Amino acid sequence: MTERKVALVTAAAGAGIGAAISKRLAADGFDVVVTDAHERRSAQLAEALTEQHGRDFTSLVLDVTDPAAIEIAMDRVVSERGRLDVLVNNAGWSKIEPVAEMSLETWQRCIDVDLTGTFLGLRYALPHMIKAGSGSIVNISSIAAYETSTEHGAAYSAAKAGVLALTRVAAAENGKHGVRVNAITPGLIYNDFLRRIYPDEFFSGYAEKRSLVGRIGQPDDIANLTSFLVSDQAGYVTGEVYGISGGVYPHG
């Protein structure tokens, strides 16, 4: 068994939250397994972490809509490293279509990636964590889970709300096994990819008019909270949902 705690992050090779969490957990001392549907970018991030920290990081190609691939990935991590301490279910997908016009394909894809993908991560990580008697899982949801807004689309909102229910029941079932399960609901978190989707006014309007702290969220904001939630300092925290939205959508 490797001495360092092992963390697996899904959708870790993009320009946003997953990569920031991977970098932060690596800096925290975790042996991070970088997984993503995109093979080349996953390998690049693992190489960059290896270079930065002077120890080996590996990557795995993992599409969270592929149940067999998820099971194999979790089993492989445990057989190679002897442990799986942390799982971050970060993969998400959305397409905004009004309910009255939504294709079944859009609905199904959202449910598959955001909700079923999170379920599958839990499904195949939990048996290993239960056996070890410890573990921590963080599911990345969204403020879309609560909103009465047209901004994110009902498929995404429904899937992200489902993630919260999944989180709470998984926490209830597994506290006795030493496994904690929590969720984060980010508001707008900047990444360069979002520039292609939203006009410039959206970002300036958000920072100046909606955010209570005068800025848009950054991936590191989510990485900081994840770092805390998976740490021993959060030993009394489970079944919780933490919002980070610059005060745009506080709840509780």
Ligand X SMILES: NC(=O)c1ccc[n+]([C@@H]2O[C@H](COP(=O)([O-])OP(=O)(O)OC[C@H]3O[C@@H](n4cnc5c(N)ncnc54)[C@H](O)[C@@H]3O)[C@@H](O)[C@H]2O)c1
Tell me which residues are annotated as active site: 156
The owner of tokens 């090779």 is 13
Q: Which is nearer to ligand X, 59 or 176 (CB)?
A: 59
The helix (run of H) or strand (run of E) holding residue 33 is strand 31-36
At closest approach, how far in Å is the CB of 53 from ligand X?
21
For residues 117 and 135, which CB has a smaller minimum distance to ligand X in the complex? 117
Q: Which of 24, 26, 49, 92 binds ligand X (CB under 6 A)?
A: 92
> What span, in angstroms and rounded, lies between the C-alpha atoms of 176 and 182?
15
Provide CB contacts within 8 A for 168, sequence distance 6+.
239, 241
Write down the least CB distance from residue 241 to ligand X, Å: 13
The rounded distance, in Å, linking the Cα atoms of 251 and 71 is 35
CB burial of 162-192 (b: ≥16 within 10 Å; e: otherwise) equals bbbebbbebbeebeebebbbbbbbbbbbbee
When the beta carbons of 92 and 246 are compared against ligand X, the nearer one is: 92
Residue 112: both structure tokens together: 């598959």
CA distances from 183 to 87, 103, 171, 186, 244 (A): 12, 28, 10, 10, 11
| Least CB distance to ligand X at residue 19 (A) | 6
Decide: helix, strand or coil at residue 4: coil
Pick out residues in 216-235 that bind ligand X (CB under 6 A).
219
Which range binds ligand X by CB under 6 A, 62-70, 76-84, 127-135, 231-239? 62-70
Listed ranges 10-18, 100-108, 203-211, 226-234: which one lies at the site for ligand X (CB under 6 A): 10-18
Burial of 235 (0-12, 13-18, 19+ CB in 10 A): exposed
Is 36 a residue that touches ligand X (CB under 6 A)? yes
Q: Which is nearer to ligand X, 55 or 195 (CB)?
A: 195
Give the one residue of 13, 46, 138, 155 binding ligand X; rule: CB under 6 A.
13
With CB under 6 A as the contact rule, the residue among 6, 8, 32, 91 that binds ligand X is 91
Q: Could you say whether residue 11 binds ligand X (CB under 6 A)?
A: yes
Cβ 42 to ligand X shortest distance, Å? 8
Q: Which is nearer to ligand X, 147 or 173 (CB)?
A: 147
**Strand, coil or helix: 189:** strand
Tokens read off for 141: 């949801």
Q: Of the two residues 129 and 188, which places its CB atom closer to ligand X in the complex?
A: 188
Question: Does 188 interact with ligand X (rule: CB under 6 A)?
Answer: yes
Spatial CA neighbour of 64 closest among 136, 135, 128, 8 = 8
Our finding on whether 64 is near ligand X (CB under 6 A) is yes
Q: Give me the residues that bind ligand X (CB under 6 A), please.
A: 10-11, 13-18, 36-38, 41, 62-65, 90-93, 113, 140, 142, 186, 188-189, 191, 219
